[in-house]
Amino acid sequence: MRLLRKLAALGVAALFGAIAALLAIYIATVRAMPDLAPWHEPLLERDFRASDTGEDLAAYLAREARIFDELEQRVAAGNGDEATATFSRYVAGSPSNPELQPRDWNRTFLHEAPEPKGGVLLLHGLSDSPYTTRTIGEIFREHGFTVLGLRVPGHGTSPGELRRARWDDWREAVRLAARHVVDQSGRDRPFFVVGYSNGGALAIDYALDALENPDDPPPTRLVLVAPAIAVSPVAALASFQLRLSAIPGLEKLAWTSILPEYDPFKYNSFPVSAGEQIHRLTTRLERRLAAAHADGRLAAFPPTLVFQSVVDATIPPQAIVDRLLARLPPNGSELVLFDVNRLAAAEDLLRTRHDAFLSSQVEASSLPYALTVLTNAGPDTQKIVARHREAGSSADAEAWSERPLALEWPRGVYSLSHLALPVPVGDRIYGVGSDDDDPTTLHLGSLELRGERGVFGIPMDQLMRLRYNPFFPYLRERIEAELANPGS
């Protein structure tokens, strides 16, 4: 017995020793990250908070204007060592300075149709800006809708401001914006909520609010693009890491990444606190969805159209099925999956972890939602077809229809990414650009950097991620079909 106690004590000591060693290695790795810059600290006037519930959109926009005026003054005054960086967004005159773009899409944008056919609220993802939803918003504007692309608190300014934002600030801003859209477009007209990434989680959260609160106008439909309805369980450790970052000398522990800010409409540096907030949001959202499913309230949940890549390094694709779609009754919802490039010549280069998720959908005996898969027409072609099965149908071959699309995989592209789905090929920042673009524009979607490893100050895995969706015309087509029959 004494020997067993000694062995147990040795085991516990070894475990704590290993944990301490791993923690020391992690801290050393983080401390080796680049130095923090002024924009990694909160510098600006306080953004919208959940406690500001008495504000309307006009007050929200006035507060936003003051924040951006202050930011512009700080940029003009110069900031830190990165002031010598040609493509820093925080350098006056830099091609990446948002103020020099045709429009600063970091700010909330609003188009009020004179005779609106309906309204749409657009919600962007975590660490980015309304820029990512602007093209989808244009689809709605072309069809006579009042369009509001909300800048969610903490975004569009500097990464340090995201450290102050909380999940309940985001959701209260969404409620404020939704009420404005419906007030302007009319409660008797269709009301869409479009959410990308973290905006998808906020869209679902708002739809649940509307089931419970008559003051929150219910959406007619949701359109979700790569919705971040769940995140890695590692995010639960963020609180511990943030406590360590308060120790002098360990300030960099407050950051998951510290990178040059060359992107005009998205933060490259990412604070740990933002991961903590999305973890809290999605954890709470799962509890709400489970409760609403158990008591039958999801019977009134709006029809939902989801666009999702089968490979997604940011969020687990299976979560949108398990947490939402599988719980909904047959209500006209649909899941659109973008498969990987199935060209036989590339098959040996691709990992196959994504196949389990795809197979679970394709081979399911019956689904309460429709399923469409965009995939290669065959193993010897880059051309794309849309394979579709209706809700409630079997997995038999006869249940599937197939439609050729005038789309194909671009050369050298083998999958989409979490970043790509809402962005068209011709996007001037994240797409391939065009010959007519300003030659100083940094085309982040088509950068081709070659050289020795370790030469560039930006991780190569960040630059190689696809930033545009070669199949965006299909996404547009499906949204336009929703607009043609909003009440069906």
pLDDT tens for each residue of 131-145: 999 999 999 999 999
The CATH number given to whatever domain includes residue 159 is 3.40.50.1820
pLDDT top residue among 2 and 50: 50
What is the mean predicted confidence (pLDDT) over 35-63?
90
| DSSP notation for 427-461 | -TTTS---TTS-TT---TTS----S-TT-SSS-HH
Per-residue pLDDT of 256-303, as tens digits, reads 888 889 899 999 999 999 999 999 999 999 999 999 999 999 999 999
Would 356 be classed as within a structural domain?
no
Percent of the chain with pLDDT over 90: 61
Q: What is the DSSP letter of 36?
A: P
Q: Are 106 and 153 in contact (CB under 8 A)?
A: no
Alpha-carbon gap, residue 54 to 68, rounded angstroms: 22
Burial pattern 340-357, b for ≥16 Cβ within 10 A else e, equals bbbbeeeeeebeeebeeb
Would 23 be classed as within a structural domain?
no
> What's at 287, amino acid-wise?
R
Nearest to 167 by CA among 110, 133, 206: 206
Q: Are 292 and 469 in contact (CB under 8 A)?
A: no
Per-residue pLDDT of 453-476, as tens digits, reads 655 556 656 667 889 999 999 999
Q: Indicate whether 146 pLDDT > 60.
A: yes
What is the mean predicted confidence (pLDDT) over 395-414?
91
Q: Indicate whether 116 pLDDT > 80.
A: yes
Q: Indicate whether 429 pLDDT > 70.
A: yes
Would 321 be classed as within a structural domain?
no
Q: What is the pLDDT of residue 165?
A: 95
Domains in the chain: how many in total? 1
Q: What is the pLDDT of residue 23?
A: 53
What is the mean predicted confidence (pLDDT) over 125-133?
97
What is the mean predicted confidence (pLDDT) over 73-101?
73
Q: What is the DSSP letter of 148?
A: E
Burial pattern 329-339, b for ≥16 Cβ within 10 A else e, equals eeebbbbbbbb
Alpha-carbon gap, residue 185 to 178, rounded angstroms: 11
Would 430 be classed as within a structural domain?
no
Instruction: Indicate the pTM of the whole model.
Output: 0.90
| DSSP notation for 175-190 | HHHHHHHHHHH-TTS-
CA dihedral 373, 376, 378, 379 (to 10 degrees): -120
Q: Are 201 and 193 in contact (CB under 8 A)?
A: no
Q: Indicate whether 249 pLDDT > 80.
A: no
What is the mean predicted confidence (pLDDT) over 370-391?
96
Report in angstroms the alpha-carbon separations of 74 from 62, 213, 362, 484.
19, 42, 53, 46
pLDDT bucket at 42, cuts 50 / 70 / 90: confident
Q: Indicate whether 363 pLDDT > 50.
A: yes
Would 52 be classed as within a structural domain?
yes
pLDDT bucket at 102, cuts 50 / 70 / 90: confident
| Structural domain range at position 221 | 38-302
What is the mean predicted confidence (pLDDT) over 192-199?
98
Alpha-carbon torsion (479, 316, 281, 152), positive or negative: negative
pLDDT top residue among 81 and 389: 389
Would 455 be classed as within a structural domain?
no
Q: What is the pLDDT of residue 132?
A: 96
pLDDT bucket at 83, cuts 50 / 70 / 90: very low
Q: What is the pLDDT of residue 92?
A: 83
Would 186 be classed as within a structural domain?
yes
Q: What is the pLDDT of residue 247?
A: 80
Alpha-carbon gap, residue 387 to 448, rounded angstroms: 33
Would 158 be classed as within a structural domain?
yes
